[in-house]
Chain A
Amino acid sequence: MRVGYGPTRTTSRPRPSAEGRCKVRLQRAIKSWIGSVDKINRALSVPVNCLMWLACFSGFLMMAHITIDVVGRVLFNHPFQGTIEIVSAYYMVAISFLPLAYITRHEGHIVVELFTRGLSKRRLFRLDIAVNIVTLVYLTVFASRATVSAIGQTERGEMWETAAGFVDVWPSRWLLPIGIAVMALFVLYKIFEDMRQVRQNSGETAP
């Protein structure tokens, strides 16, 4: 005779049905997929942050470089040769394109939210998936053409003429495809992340 109030145990557990086994496998697959999405996020944060730091460093250098040039010119009548070319071709390009992935990560791009404010979370995530797919296509074309352009200018050894000689410009051509490509990778990650959110918010109804 059994004593106690716990659930009665059966000696042999019934085998789950084929449908049940499928469900378990699917849940495991989703779990591992969610885990890999997080891993992608962690892995991507390294290049995203590195590019941002490089851009900030360029911004600081630009400030210092221009100030030294002005002080040299105004006080000592001795400007810093090539300032305009280095500022334009290197610092400006770095500042313009390297932070794009960081901005995407912090939801910083300029968007109009007026017409989509009434949507439920789930619909908003679905819309974001579509928006990110369009953005990804645009960025892919952008990055690929920028790469073609960078290869062409590298082969040609692009240079700009300054008062004191020539400045190599071709290396900075590569900053553009690098910045755009990392942004594209982050947008791709966001598509997966939004798909996960759609799944997690599947029970939610419109407000």
Chain B
Amino acid sequence: MTALEIGFWSFGAILLLIAVRIPIGVALGGIAFLGITQLRDVDVAFALIGDTPFEFAAHYSLSAIPMFLLMGSVAHHSGISHSLFRAARLWFSGLPGGLAVATNLACAAFAAASGSSVATAAAMGRIAIPEMLKQGYEKGLATGVVASAGTLGSLIPPSILFVLYGIFAEVSIVKLLIAGVFPGLLTAAIYTIMIIARCKLNPSLAPPIDPAEIAALRPERMRALLQVWPLVALIVGIIGGLYAGIVAPTEAGAGGAVLAFVISGIQGRLNYQVFRDSLIEAISATARIFFVAVGAVMYTKFLALTGMPTFLGNVIGDWALDPILLVVAASILYLILGMFLDPLGLLLLTLPILLPMFEGLNLDLIWFGVLVVKFLEIGLLTPPVGFNVYVIKSVVGDTIPLETIFRGVAWFLACEVVVVVLLVAFPEISLYLPSTMD
């Protein structure tokens, strides 16, 4: 068997192992170990498994991940997400589908404190869905908006996926994070337009709130807005600090986490349980991500030995001479694999194959990074394995079937098609802000 054939067999083996519930990190690392034993010898494989995990984890750029996660979990556990939804509800509840619009915009704002889509959806889902259901919102809309707007968590900085992409693609993580700002806002805007249009055309989706009640709530608006100041401070501190080049991503994350602790302390919301739960949540999530990433790094090294990246680069390079064709090919690949794999595994599995092709065509890797994160986010919403939908399902329990949530998400997926077309047609949406940093 040639090295390339072993590489192809490894794809099938990994998918098979994942299908029988082997943890993804074990599947990737185990196949890499066996593959290298077959290609070289067991000593090379031992050296790989003995040194790679430490070398991978002992990496300063990666330390942004636990810090971003910690900041998000403190912001959630100390009630910032709650204040945010309350303020958004008071300001936007007068619009058609006002609570759904408020949820969408609250997710976009919370994304500036959270680096993970799943965490954003979980945080907002617990707060917003019961409110919308109480108001008589259609179940698909109520759940679909949180699952979909939760994906903004990875697009609007901070973002764990951008950090990982930046390390693998060897491009500036700061520029990647800043590149996500406009695409994230664009997505939120298109979602908002869709929600308002749908609810205007079909008011039964979202029964309007009594005008008298809205008028009664109006005086509370400014007070609610004042309670959101911690998030504004976080946004200014993090995005501003990164954009101005004052702080590196890790420093922004650590400073943001300290700020979140201090703010929740000032507001009287910090207690031992908040402190403990935030730390455990952030540290567990980090180790969970890194366990997969260590396997993926070993698998990447194995794939390089098989010559797979060069082979695929040549194959697609001959065919997709036009960059648009390559983007279409990549989007199809992500769409199909995204239906089954989690975003992290998918990112780490596909980058070794796709990056050489994009480099071969001299395409901008920051633009590609934004597209990849967008594709991964779409994968969080597509059936049968849509992690954000599963998170919402775990929030609502047995009251709403999975099919209803997927049906609600379908409208947002249609919006994603528009967003992706705009991002591909106008790379400036992603690249304008990073270009002003030079």
Contacts and interface: CB of A to CB of B under 8 A. Distances in A.
A161 to B, nearest CB: 14
A112 B283 contact: no
What are the 7 A-B residue pairs with the smallest beta carbon separation, nearest first? A145-B50, A66-B254, A96-B57, A99-B287, A109-B23, A149-B50, A56-B279
B190 interface: no
Contacts of B254: 62-63, 66-67, 70
15 contacts: A56-B283, A59-B286, A67-B258, A69-B251, A92-B57, A92-B59, A95-B66, A95-B287, A110-B291, A112-B21, A128-B21, A134-B26, A138-B30, A149-B54, A169-B58
A148 interface: yes
Interface string A24-65: 000000000000000000000000000010011001101110
A59 B66 contact: yes
A87 B250 contact: yes
A103 B287 contact: yes
Contact of A110 (B29, B49, B58, B342): B342
Contacts of A131: 20-23
Given A93-B57, A97-B57, A131-B22, A62 B67 contact: yes
A112 B18 contact: yes
A141 B49 contact: yes
B398 interface: no
Contacts of B51: 149
A116 interface: yes
A66 B280 contact: no
Interface string A89-123: 10111011111101100101111111110000000
Contacts of A97: 53, 57, 287, 290
Interface of A: 52, 55-56, 59-60, 62-64, 66-67, 69-70, 74, 84, 87-89, 91-93, 95-100, 102-103, 106, 108-116, 127-128, 130-131, 134-135, 138, 141-142, 145-146, 148-149, 169, 172-173, 176
Nearest to A142: B49
A142 B344 CA distance: 21
Contacts of A146: 49-50, 53-54
Given A52-B283, A135-B26, A92 B49 contact: no
A89 B57 CA distance: 8
Contacts of A115: 19-20
A109 B295 CA distance: 13
B340 A109 contact: no
Given A63-B258, A100-B287, A115-B19, 12 more contacts: A66-B254, A67-B251, A95-B287, A111-B23, A112-B21, A112-B24, A112-B385, A115-B20, A116-B21, A130-B20, A134-B26, A145-B47
Interface string B299-338: 0000000000000000000000000000000000000000
Nearest to B64: A66
B35 to A, nearest CB: 14
A92 B29 CA distance: 20
A110 B62 contact: no
Contacts of B280: 52, 56
B288 interface: yes
B233 interface: no
Contacts of A89: 58
Contact of B23 (A116, A135, A142, A173): A135
